[in-house]
């Protein structure tokens, strides 16, 4: 599991690679939180283009960041989720609070 970061405008983009599961959830939370605070961003975009698996711990990572960012009046978005990940996101109920977009540019325009 690796996370690369980019900043566009007031959004931090977290490009996650590999599996987002219970083995890496805690370290991913810490890395994203640290980078978010360091970059002084308002919004967070999860780029799942290179994520091939996610379990409930991954959902927990997303929800935890959502709560933290919402406290700062920011928004969270998910981009580039494959069919399997999109189904997990949908079944978990996350789509009620976080939108999925086809790509980063679309998310940046909407949030």
pLDDT digits (tens, 9 = 90+) for 11-62: 999 999 999 988 999 999 999 999 998 888 999 999 999 999 999 999 999 9
pLDDT at position 38 is 87
SS3 content of the chain, % helix, strand, coil (to 5): 45, 30, 20
Is pLDDT above 90 for 1? no
pTM of the model: 0.92
CB 102 within 8 A of CB 69: no
Q: Which two tokens stand for residue 102?
A: 């086809």
CATH superfamily of 2-110: STAS domain (3.30.750.24)
Average confidence (pLDDT) over 85-91: 92
Mean residue pLDDT of the chain comes to: 93
């Amino acid at each position: 599991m690796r996370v690369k970061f980019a900043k566009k405008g007031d959004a931090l983009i977290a490009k996650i690679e590999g599996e987002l599961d219970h083995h890496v959830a805690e370290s991913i939370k810490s890395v994203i939180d640290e980078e978010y605070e360091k970059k002084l961003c308002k919004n967070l975009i999860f780029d799942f283009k290179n994520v091939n698996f996610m379990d409930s711990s991954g959902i927990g990572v997303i929800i935890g960041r959502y709560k933290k960012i919402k406290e700062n009046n920011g928004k969270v978005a998910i981009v580039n989720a494959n069919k399997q990940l999109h189904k997990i996101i949908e079944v978990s109920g996350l789509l009620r609070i976080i939108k999925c977009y086809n790509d980063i540019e679309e998310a940046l325009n909407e949030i």
